[in-house]
Amino acid sequence: MRVILVNPHEPPVVQEITGDLASLKACVAGYVERIACDGHVNILANEEGRLRGMALNRAVMLSNGGVIEIVGPFLLIGSNPQQGVFEDLSDADIALWLSRLA
């Protein structure tokens, strides 16, 4: 599954992961929290990032105009709400988000 991995103080990178819960948890270094972001694009972040004192990563603007500050590593991942599953990001989504997060 193609995702964008964003670690604090590093540029975002496109990465292939298996998409199972273990790989998602490994990417965010803990329990996974889903944050609806833009249409079918979701943010997966560490649910306990603030409690664990993880480093501030980035402020991300959501499609509703809100801004969320994310701590620790996070993923941008596609989703199919009708089927309730995560999926690859499209080439267009990757290009858009790499430019927004650079």
Q: Where are the domains of the chain?
A: 2-101
Is pTM beyond 0.85 here?
yes
Cα separation of 32 and 24, whole Å? 7
The one-character DSSP state at 30 is S
User: Using CB atoms within 10 A of its CB, is residue 37 exposed (0-12), middle (13-18) or buried (19+)?
Assistant: buried
Tens of pLDDT, residues 12-62: 999 999 999 999 999 999 999 998 887 889 999 999 999 999 999 999 887
CA 7 to chain centre: 10
Cα separation of 42 and 55, whole Å? 21
